[in-house]
A and B are shown apart, each in its own frame.
Chain A
Amino acid sequence: MTRQGAYKESDDMLIDEPKLPQQGQIAALPNEFNPSYLKIYYSKLFPHADLYRWMSYGNDGKHPACDSSYLGRREFSYTLDNDIFVRYNTFNSATELENSIKDKCPLKIDIGPIYNLNPARRNAYAGDNVLTPVERELIFDIDMSDYDDVRYCCSGADVCLNCWPLMTVAVKVIDTSLRDDFGFRHILWVYSGRRGVHCWVCDRKARRLTNEQRAAVADYFRVYKGNENNYKKVSLMGQVLHPFLARSYTEVLKEYFETKLLTSQNLLSSEERYEKILEMIPDQSIASELRGKWQESRRSSSAKEDINIVRWEQLKQLLQKHKAQVVRRCVEEIVFTYTFPRLDMEVSKHMNHLLKAPFCVHPKTGRVCVPINPNNCEEFDPTTVPTLIQLLEELNREGLRSDVEGEWNKTSLANAIKLFRSSFLQPLLKICKEEMESSYNAKLQQSKNLLSW
């Protein structure tokens, strides 16, 4: 990967031997990603042991029910320098995993499914389709660029505090549904490092879902069906909304739309923008009435109240008292269009889809893929997520102070790792252990019953 920016003398040393940037030069170095910094990251900060424990799902113990082949059947993929992509890496122990990462220093680590047999041995078997996924977390990928048609502050790869609330909405809506509707409990939300979030549902039941079942869940979450060819991308049929949609609207969408996005995105302030919304109204006379009103008021701007809010109220007034339900429903459709989560369906549907591992560093932004706490996701700020350079600076500052927990505890990564452990890993491993023990005991009882004949 070529480095952009001016070449600095001090970088000579970095080529041969990874060294921390010197104190004085911190300000001079651009805040960007550097592959040799990764080496330090993997050697001192990346939580190898946590990743190992998570992926083992309790099979790393001494209990007779533990499946020692479990971890070895999980695929890990590496993206190396020069765009080299290596699949089907497998590990059988914590040290193997750790040493491999430290050694190969991948720019990105992807986690794949658990297969029926160790993928490293896949060529030893004759026949096609010998390797089949048997377990895989239920995963979701929400990317801000899928919202480009409803955000004006940024586009493409950029993300800012004006559009980030869309991600907050997505986390709230989906997390609530996964827990309340689907009964899942072991859910990990992770910042993708640049412009989105990933979700890992790790309950045993979730891991064993078939592709068809995954597709069903992803589809349950799907409301926006857009492409360039239709101007109306959300169509909410039925006399009333499904309870899931109704709850999402009243608990999350309405508030975020009306109090945040309407103003931060200036959705109704200019003709180009309000036309997009007026297009969605099925009653032409109402649309033109509003259009007329707004074209006039353009000249007289009362700075008292935000123009977007004023206009939204006017729109709602006209639509909500209409006798046709399809017109009244338009208000919700507009809100859903501008706020409802947009998932990448393909990621969720297939068991063999790879997804980036948490705690990787995003090569374009240098930010670490840290967990997000769904309970206070509204406070998550993507612009303050620790970057690789920042972490190395912190390490440098703390110097030789030793820490019982590990080097990461001296840096901003500490909170991320603690959150990962307390809210996700520990409860998960506890349940894995309980499930393992109880199913083992059940089997024992069963065989006892058989033998007692």
Chain B
Amino acid sequence: MQVVRSHQSHRSFSSSSGSVSASPTLPLYRSAPELEVRLEDFESFAIDRLRVLKGISDGLSRGKKPDEMEKLVNELWKTNMRHQDSSQVLNKDIISHFVLRLVYCRTEELRKWFLSMESALFRHRFRNQTAEAQRAIMEEFDLPCKAVSNAEFESLKEKLGQVARSIGHNLSLSTTDAIYYKVPFEEVPELVTGRKVFINQGYAYVAMNQVVSLVATIFRSLLSKALILTNRKWATSIREQEQHRLTPIVEALCSSYLGPDFSQPKEYGEISLKDIDQVAKSSFPLCMRHLFEKLREDHHLKHAGRMQLGLFLKGVGLNVDDSLAFWREEFSKKVGLEKFEKEYAYNIRHNYGKEGKKTDYTPYSCQKIILSTPGVGDHHGCPYRHFGEENLRAALSRMGVNSRAMEDVMGKVRNRDYQLACTLTFEALHAAPCDAGINHPNQYFSDSQRLLKAKKDSST
């Protein structure tokens, strides 16, 4: 794969290289393609695919059932992996996969995650392929699968039917159901284990719908090996060679937050200072509520806390003047007006891009907040992660979380699914589902406000 500057046009591979993909729509990613990629596509394609993978990850950790996952995967793929030029769709698929290999090959944990998500993705996409395409893919994978001849099928039909019925599939007499593959039993341990196949003389008779399992296992093991090789190449040559071009992109990609950045709130002045206490109670996520309460209590917050809360408030719609007034009101109670102007006001204006290099800072995402490390005297960070169990329970019950939801939330916390814990809190407090999950404190806020406004509108 060759990465080129944007002014160079990119040409696609000739479709005669059928060896790239056994199926016209589902590549197997066996080897890096002979393609040229524009630098910005390098990053944007990867981000789009990452949205799909993260969506899958989220769906799985929420325990979605297989048919729900099927729908989710289809939607995610359709939404994110489009391309205005339909002939480029396959390219985008292939390129994005290989870029993400670079990103996710670098540690054991990253590899494990990537492997799981790509395998799940592949499994779902394979299921939706035509029988022709599926057969072609199996051949590509050197599956020692032989189609069962009609004669043999007839002689085994009863037993095959028994197996199907024993696992809850009804073997109808339609031609597709009559397609069975014969494969040495050791190739399909997962099917042997649950007695999901008929085994005779060392061969397992695999139904078409079970073939998916087979293929997915092979895909996974091939990708696993490839990732190790990629990691080696990355560590020994690529990272060094590309340190000024691709490496920074690759390194930033895996920790990227992919949602809206709330740096430009739609309506400034959405929050007025006099409402802020009430709004904090009703719509702030726990992390911001805590900072807010501590600020009211101590009339002070340390730097990291000021950044986390301050940027959040900016995202919420507090303009720079209101923000200054807000912080001044609190801090002057502790340090006095003069000191506030001298030492703190500058920073606040800085956050709004009114000073210094004038970068408009973006409010922190959950990921960033979770990764922070609050020390003594700090109140920033993610309470689901950084609070002890007792304190967290107390804080949640002060927010109004009932005891049953509390247990669910604590369960997620124990599992280190902090964002899911926050999502469950949101759902408990608003008595409404939050399917997308909480990824950003400002998202929590705007979703909350939207729900409350809708309730108010419907009741009037």
Chain A contacts to B: CB under 8 angstroms: 180-184, 205, 209-210, 212-213, 215-217, 219-220, 237-246
Contact = CB atoms under 8 A, between A and B. Distances in A.
A213 B186 CA distance: 6
Nearest to A203: B202
B161 to A, nearest CB: 9
Nearest to B198: A243
Contact of A205 (B163, B166, B186): B186
A241 B163 CA distance: 7
A241 B162 contact: yes
Contact of B199 (A182, A209, A212): A182
A240 B200 contact: no
A241 B165 CA distance: 8
Contacts of A240: 162, 165-166
B354 to A, nearest CB: 58
Residue of B163, B185, B194, B200 with most partner-chain A CB within 10 A? B185
A261 to B, nearest CB: 24
Contacts of A182: 185, 199, 202
Residue of A209, A242, A246 with most partner-chain B CB within 10 A? A242
Interface string B159-197: 100110111100000000000000001100110111100
Residue of A213, A217, A243, A244 with most partner-chain B CB within 10 A? A243
Given A181-B200, A183-B201, A220-B195, 18 more contacts: A180-B200, A182-B199, A183-B200, A183-B203, A205-B186, A213-B186, A216-B189, A219-B192, A219-B193, A220-B193, A220-B199, A237-B168, A238-B167, A240-B165, A241-B166, A243-B159, A243-B198, A244-B195
Residue of A205, A212, A239 with most partner-chain B CB within 10 A? A239
Given A213-B186, A239-B165, A239-B166, A244 B193 contact: no
A219 B195 CA distance: 8
A411 to B, nearest CB: 39
Contacts of B195: 220, 242, 244-245
Contacts of A219: 192-194
Interface in B404-460: none
The 5 closest A-B pairs by CB, nearest first: A183-B202, A216-B189, A238-B166, A216-B192, A219-B193
11 contacts: A180-B200, A180-B201, A181-B201, A183-B200, A213-B189, A219-B192, A220-B193, A237-B166, A238-B165, A243-B159, A244-B199
Contacts of B159: 243
Given A180-B201, A183-B201, A220-B195, A243 B163 contact: yes
A183 B184 CA distance: 10
Contacts of B202: 182-184, 205
Contacts, number: 62
Given A209-B186, A238-B165, A240-B162, A217 B192 contact: yes
Nearest to B156: A243
A184 B186 CA distance: 12
B187 to A, nearest CB: 9
Nearest to B187: A213
Nearest to A206: B186
Residue of B166, B168, B203 with most partner-chain A CB within 10 A? B166
B165 A215 contact: no
A183 B200 CA distance: 7
Given A181-B200, A183-B202, A216 B190 contact: yes
A179 to B, nearest CB: 9
Contacts of B185: 182
Nearest to A179: B201
A215 B166 contact: no
Interface in B300-318: none
Contact of A242 (B162, B193, B200): B162
A413 B457 CA distance: 93
Contacts of A220: 192-193, 195, 199
A239 B198 CA distance: 16
Nearest to B189: A216
A419 B101 CA distance: 58
A164 B186 CA distance: 32
A242 B163 contact: yes
A243 B162 contact: yes
A136 to B, nearest CB: 14
A239 B190 CA distance: 21
Contacts of A181: 199-201
A181 B165 CA distance: 19
A331 to B, nearest CB: 17
A246 B162 contact: yes
A238 to B, nearest CB: 4
Contacts of B162: 240-243, 246
Nearest to A223: B195
A212 B187 CA distance: 10
A216 B186 CA distance: 8
Given A180-B200, A243-B162, A238 B189 contact: no
Contacts of A180: 200-201
B199 to A, nearest CB: 4
B213 to A, nearest CB: 12
B166 A242 contact: yes
A212 B199 CA distance: 17
A447 to B, nearest CB: 23
Given A181-B200, A220-B195, A212 B189 contact: yes
A377 B165 CA distance: 33
Given A183-B202, A243-B159, A215 B167 contact: no
A210 B189 CA distance: 10
A219 B194 CA distance: 7
A210 B186 CA distance: 9
Contact of B193 (A184, A215, A238, A245): A215
B172 to A, nearest CB: 14
A237 B201 CA distance: 25
Contacts of B194: 219
Nearest to B185: A182
Contacts of A183: 200-203
Contacts of A245: 195
A212 B221 CA distance: 14
A243 B166 CA distance: 9
B268 to A, nearest CB: 59
A219 B191 CA distance: 10
Interface in B187-232: 189-190, 192-195, 198-203
A246 B166 CA distance: 11
Contacts of B198: 243
A33 B201 CA distance: 43
Contacts of B193: 215-216, 219-220
